[in-house]
A and B are shown apart, each in its own frame.
Chain A
Amino acid sequence: MIVSARETWLGRALLVVLMLVTVLPFVSLFVTALHEPGTYPGGLSWPEDPHWENFVLAFQSADMFQLLWSSVLIELGVVPFAVLIATLAGFALGHLAPRGGRIVFIVFLLGLTLPFEGIIVPLYYQMRDLGLLNTRWAIILPLVGLFMPFAVTWMRAHFVNMPQDISEAARVDGATTWQLFWRIHVPLSLPALSSLAILLFLWTWNQFLLAVVLVDDPAKRTMAGALGAFQGQWGTDIPLLCAGSLLILTPTLIVFLVFQRQFVAALLQGSLKG
Chain B
Amino acid sequence: MASPSQAAASARDVGAAAPTSRRRAAAPPTRGKRRLTATVAAYVLVLPAALFYIAFVISPIVRTAQYSLYEWDGISPATWAGLANYVQVFANPTLVGSILNSFELILYFSVVPVILGLFAANVIRGIATSRLATVARTVLFLPQVIPLVAAGIMWTWQLSTKGVVNQFLELVGLGAVARAWLGDTQTALPAVGVIGAWVQLGLCLLLLLAGMTKIDPALYEAARIDGAGPVREFFSITLPSVRQELAVCVTITVISALASFDIIYISTQGGPANSTLVPGLQIYYLAFFQRDIGTASALAMVLMVLVLLVVIPLQRVLRGRDA
Contact = CB atoms under 8 A, between A and B. Distances in A.
Q: Are A and B co-members of a single complex?
A: yes
Contacts of A43: 157-158, 160, 162-167
A12 B132 contact: yes
A120 interface: yes
B300 A92 contact: no
Interface residues of A, number: 104
A92 B288 contact: no
A190 interface: no
Contacts of A151: 49
A184 interface: no
Q: Is the interface of A mostly helix, strand, loop or mixed?
A: helix
Contacts of A26: 142, 154
A93 B149 CA distance: 36
B110 interface: no
Nearest to A13: B123
A2 B262 contact: no
B150 A245 contact: yes
A264 interface: yes
A125 B66 CA distance: 13
Contacts of A141: 52, 55-56
Interface string B140-151: 111111111111
Contacts of A197: none
B74 interface: yes
A6 to B, nearest CB: 10
Interface in A68-96: 85-86, 88-89, 91-93, 96
B206 interface: yes
A28 B57 contact: no
Contact of B61 (A119, A224, A241): A119
Nearest to A205: B147
A260 B206 CA distance: 13
A43 B154 CA distance: 11
A57 interface: no
B38 interface: yes
Contacts of B23: 168
Contacts of B167: 42-44
Contacts of B46: 88-89, 92-93, 101, 104
Interface string B289-305: 00001001100110110
Nearest to A206: B147
A44 B266 CA distance: 21
Nearest to B167: A43
A248 B147 contact: yes
A209 B256 CA distance: 14
A8 B127 CA distance: 8
Contact of B123 (A12, A25, A111, A117): A12
Interface in B118-163: 119-120, 122-124, 126-127, 132, 135-151, 153-155, 157-158, 160, 162-163
A96 B44 CA distance: 12
B248 interface: yes
A118 B304 contact: yes
Contact of A18 (B22, B116, B304): B116
B57 A148 contact: yes
Nearest to A147: B52
Contacts of A263: 145
B255 interface: yes
6 closest Cβ contacts across the A-B interface? A145-B56, A115-B259, A11-B123, A119-B60, A43-B164, A89-B49
Interface of B: 1, 3, 22-23, 35, 38-39, 41-43, 45-46, 48-50, 52-53, 55-61, 63-64, 67, 74, 116, 119-120, 122-124, 126-127, 132, 135-151, 153-155, 157-158, 160, 162-167, 198, 201-203, 206-207, 210, 217, 220-221, 224, 230, 244-245, 248, 251-252, 255, 258-259, 261-262, 265-266, 279-280, 283-284, 287-288, 293, 296-297, 300-301, 303-304, 307-308, 311
22 contacts: A1-B224, A15-B123, A18-B140, A28-B154, A89-B50, A96-B41, A108-B53, A113-B251, A113-B311, A118-B303, A121-B283, A122-B297, A124-B287, A145-B52, A164-B3, A208-B262, A224-B262, A253-B142, A255-B145, A257-B138, A268-B206, A268-B210
